Structure 1
Amino acid sequence: MDKAELVFNKVNKLLEWFLIGVFALLVLDVLFQVFSRYILGTSFTWTEEFARFSLIWMTILGAAYLNAKREHLSMDFLYGKFSLRNKRKASIFIEVCIFLFAAIVMGIGGGNLVYITLRLEQLSGTLRVPLGYVYAILPFSGLLIMCFSVYHIIKIYKNKNAL
């Protein structure tokens, strides 16, 4: 196992545990919300906002995690009919497209969103958290996806017989 693969596996494991933690917090938050509403007879407004922010983080980071595992949604009917050489070319093309999307939309666009919301000092309605911190998951996940795409491209080039 080379150094890049070791780092890749450690980042994936860390990301996996972080996603499990966010999901656990989301479940606890929603359970507390239901408990407080039906048992205590009162509703805490912050629980809905926390659940929304947790879901945002889980979804965006989950996309990066699935990209690392190469388990994102795909339609591979045509891909399955390609020769090994054309599969390699298509895989590299797909990884380049994913890299460009992550760089432009998530990295640049997400970075601008974070910058603008922090500059304007926008706060969330209930928790009063700067929205830039919530949106920071976009450029961070974009950077992860870009790194994973580069890793996959290198792996495709090194291994001539498999994808």
Structure 2
Amino acid sequence: MVKKIADFLEKVQLKMGVFFLSLFFFVIVLQMFVRYIGVSLIWTEEVSTYSFIWAVFMGASVMIHRRGHFRFSLVYEKLTGKKKRFLEMLIDFILLIFSLAILYYGIIATANFWNYNWYSLTDFKMGYMFISIPIMGLSMFVYGLDHLVDNYKELRRGE
């Protein structure tokens, strides 16, 4: 059950990451073009910054789901069997706690800054940018839980 949710969430986040990275690239190219012809669009800086933030946060949480990205390789490579599984479970548990902290403080930051307006596009609220933080924390939690369940099953099987 957790695996299906995590896999679906990864697909959604990858699409969101690609969208925001594409938006970032498009806005930067647009900004260079209009400056070349002597026009200034003040909103491009904010849109590019916030779209890049969204892309990075979506990509960072997906990297939690990809096995082997966060690992103490010096220690990990020297361990075998159950000791290796215990280390993986310890890392997964630490990442779970970290992701809960990101989720909690991300919700607080989003609530605090929700009604602030963008400088150049005053109809947009800063909450649209800050909500990426709790989304990242929640998805990291789901991915960490998926890994913890997998490692526990493998540990019980004796692998």
* Same fold per superposition (TM over 0.5): yes
Pairing 1:97-136 to 2, within 5 Å after superposition: 97-104=94-101, 106-118=102-114, 121-128=115-122, 129-136=124-131
Asked whether the 8 Å contact 2:63–2:69 carries over to 1, the reply is yes
Give the deviation of 1:73 after TM superposition. 4.7
Quick one: structure 1 residues 71 and 123, their matched pair in 2 at CA, closer, same or farther if it must change by over 3 Å?
farther
Offset from partner CA, 1:102-126 (integer Å, 9 cap, x none):
111x1111111111112xx211211
The runs of 5 or more residues in structure 2 that have no matched partner are none
Asked whether the 8 Å contact 2:21–2:51 carries over to 1, the reply is yes
Query: Match for residue 90 of structure 2?
Result: 93
1:141 and 2:139 aligned: no
| Number of corresponding residues | 156
RMSD value over aligned CA atoms?
1.6
Query: Match for residue 54 of structure 1?
Result: 51
TM-score, normalising length: structure 1: 0.88
TM-score, normalising length: structure 2: 0.90
1:153 and 2:148 aligned: yes
1:22 and 2:20 aligned: yes
Which is bigger in relative contact order (C-alpha 8 A, separation at least 6)?
A: 2
Distance 2:139 2:17 in 1: 14
Give the deviation of 1:55 after TM superposition. 1.0
